[in-house]
Structure 1
Amino acid sequence: MVKLTLYGVDASPPVRAVKLTLAALNLPYDFVNVNLAGLEQLSPEYVKKNPQHTVPTLEEDGHFIWDSHAIIAYLVSKYADSDSLYPKDLLQRAVVDQRLHFESGVVFADGLRSITKPLLFFNQKVIPKERHQAIVEIYDFVETFLKDQDYIAGNQLTIADFSLVSSIVSLEAFVGIDRAKYVRTSAWIKRLEQLPYYEESNAKGVRELLAIIKQTNFSFAS
């Protein structure tokens, strides 16, 4: 049996996306917590595993993969019994890939990281007003993507759902989702919350992140 080890922290949305995928595939793995506050990710040992010193990092029999999108696509491609989570049909896969790139380039980069990095690592308590608007625009896009379909890339669960839900629910630490306005988004989140592994793989980490953010006493610039 191949041994899998995941390095990361539960509060990290990308780490949680990998945890959701591992759980969906029913793959056993060891989890190694990386002390980001203590800069453990910059240690020579960790940098040797992942030169970008990010989380998550997946170890498989001495081989290392980082970036959550690369990891979850790899896991499904190698270990899934079917292609439902990452379709082989090229058009369907293109839609999944687009959503993954949207999460990486827009939701995480423009939304989460642009706020959390200065807030948590540089002690900047006032968040620029445009970051609030960026989150609202993200919610608008997600609501549009979900028109006439149950999941983010169609009518079946895919790794795009795992990637996006981990970040979307984390954005609520800064701007709550208007349930009346974003009806489809709210229903999508509730649908994913029904997954038997959702609580352990995502919800627990979301609560940890929200608690960390709350302690910063941040505010948005007027």
Structure 2
Amino acid sequence: MESEGIVPLNNSIFNAKMANHTIDIYFFTMSPPSRAALLLMRALGLKHNIKIVNVLAGEQMNPEFIKINPLHTIPVINDGGFILPDSNAIMKYLVDQYAKDDSLFPRDPKKSAIVIQRLFFVSGYLFPRFVAYHLPTMKDGVKGAEEDLNKLNETFSMMDNYVQGQTWFAGNNMTVADFAAISLISTIYACGSCDISAHQNLFQWFQKTKTAMESFGYDEVMQAGAEAFGALYKSRLK
């Protein structure tokens, strides 16, 4: 299934190079990393084709997809024959290649290092702990282990400290780190599996970031996917 992305020509950061250029993105709405990459594409005003890979149906294991990405993960982009998996790598590439400035991924070594560290935090702490607690429910219909819930709440406390006293997840400007983090926080919140509001700084960041991303299509891309995951999680828990 394919659908052509809408190019926001009135977007102040729209790149004219994209007028006759389309990027394919292999995507599944329940996948937080997929949504992070797609929402960034929308933010950058990049024309795109969405190619659905239904993970629940095992389509990521189809031979034709494995030829594209031997890791059989999503998202993947195909930009004129340049194929790239991994949402963090994709977001870095898209900013470097198409953004009109470096605000979303700074070139300054110190600011860049903070963004990279936050991305590693999301992929190395938040994502695996999210999976560890929610997978038993999604797979077997049983509640995740208390130990895994405690580790997830520990991760929220770390994030709460990160955003204390600053506007965004990696500093005072919105960056790709915010896209990566909110893709998971929105999903967990939709599941109702953890009390994110107990972490005041993190919850304030979450609410503020949702509002800031509305003009990129937050509700259509991020919220819809999070709610779909949350609905499935709740149905399996019953």
TM-score, reference length from structure 1:
0.91
Conserved 8 A contact 1:8-1:34: yes
Q: Percent identity?
A: 31
Distance change (3 Å), C-alpha of 1:116 and 1:65: farther
CA distance in 2, matches of 1:26, 1:120: 34
CA distance in 2, matches of 1:10, 1:36: 10
Matched, 1:14 2:33: yes
What count of residue pairs does the alignment treat as equivalent? 214
Q: CA deviation at 1:79?
A: 0.4
Higher relative contact order (CA 8 A, sep 6+): 1
Range with bigger deviation, 92-101 or 33-42: 33-42
Matched, 1:100 2:108: no
- Which amino acid is 1:206 matched to? A
Secondary structure of 1:65 counterpart:
strand
Give 5+ residue unaligned stretches, structure 1: none
Secondary structure of 1:127 counterpart:
coil
Conserved 8 A contact 2:40-2:176: yes
CA distance in 2, matches of 1:45, 1:175: 38
Conserved 8 A contact 2:141-2:237: no
Distance change (3 Å), C-alpha of 1:124 and 1:216: closer
Conserved 8 A contact 2:122-2:180: yes
Q: CA deviation at 1:182?
A: 1.9
> Structure 2 residue aligned with 1:207, among 211, 216, 227?
227
Higher helix share: 2
- Give CA-to-partner distance per residue, 1:172-203, whole Å, 9 cap, x none: 322131x2x42221221111111212212211
TM-score, reference length from structure 2:
0.86
> Structure 1 residue aligned with 2:209, among 174, 192, 198?
192
- Which amino acid is 1:157 matched to? M
Conserved 8 A contact 1:20-1:162: yes
- Which amino acid is 2:201 matched to? R
The residue aligned with 1:115 is: 133
The residue aligned with 2:22 is: 3
> Structure 1 residue aligned with 2:106, among 70, 73, 87?
87
Aligned residues: CA RMSD: 1.4
Conserved 8 A contact 1:23-1:201: no
Conserved 8 A contact 1:8-1:55: yes
- Which amino acid is 1:45 matched to? E
Range with bigger deviation, 186-195 or 44-53: 186-195
> Structure 2 residue aligned with 1:163, among 180, 196, 199?
180
CA distance in 1, matches of 2:55, 2:44: 28
Q: CA deviation at 1:118?
A: 4.1
Q: CA deviation at 1:124?
A: 5.4
